[in-house]
Amino acid sequence: MSYKLEIQSIEDVTHDVKRIRLAKPDGYQFTPGQATEVALDREGWRDEKRPFTFTSLNSDPWLEFTIKVYPEHDGVTEQIGQLSKGDSLCIDDPWGAIEYKGEGTFIAGGAGVTPFIAIFRDLKAQGKIGNNRLIFSNKTEQDTILKEEFEQLLGDNFINVVTREKPAGDSLFLDGHIDKDFLASHISDKDDAFYVCGPEAFNDDIIDALKALGIEADSLVFEE
């Protein structure tokens, strides 16, 4: 089913990430971590659907997306970057395989963190954050989505990794990318669940590294 929804608010989260809130259809339900197909309600763009993850909670009176825009791509996200309050987006029913399956380690690359936002917010609302931890990799510190919120939610269990330039703050700097050795030094319990989300190459590298460390396939949660 498709829904045409008006934008209630749109604001900057980082220099290239937007938070968009839409009017929520009656009875619309999703699980934290799920996504939907989104298209612009504009001539020539209604069939150009792209997957985006809900970052609101099911109990919220709106639907929220946190979307990275790529002005240089001349595509859907470039168009999204030009939207304003009162414009509309078209969305479909929810789908997705990333859902909370127990306490563990979340590993995200860039905008791949979005499925984890709703999961952590939902756990916080239930008082069940526990010892969940997030390893979040970005090219630069200014690319980090919702850094302050993750610090408040997770405290010392939020590990912010910067790979392209030395950060001014307390983020960890890796001259390259998260690898097997780094993961080995930050994983305490191999029986935990491991949630992975990022660009395809990032996912492949992280999953290969986790398997090399002895993590069982049943413990891995990711979008195939």
CATH number for 104-221 (one of 3.40.50.80, 3.40.50.300, 3.40.50.1110, 3.90.1640.10): it is 3.40.50.80
pLDDT band, residue 174 (cuts 50/70/90):
confident
Would the pLDDT of 3 be above 90? Answer: yes
Architecture of the domain defined by 3-91: Beta Barrel (2.40)
User: CB neighbours of 46 closer than 8 A, spacing ≥ 6?
Assistant: 39, 40, 90
Could you tell me the residue ranges of all domains in the chain? Answer: 3-91, 104-221
Residue-wise pLDDT for 134-171, tens only, equals 999 999 889 999 999 999 999 999 999 998 888 776 77
Distance in angstroms (rounded) separating the CA atoms of residues 220 and 192:
9
Nearest to 142 by CA among 171, 120, 113: 171
Pairing of strands 3-14, 17-23: antiparallel
Residue-wise pLDDT for 73-131, tens only, equals 678 988 999 999 999 999 999 998 899 999 999 999 999 999 999 999 999 999 999 99
Q: What is the DSSP letter of 157?
A: G
Mean pLDDT of the chain: 93
Radius of gyration of the chain, Cα coordinates, nearest whole angstrom: 17
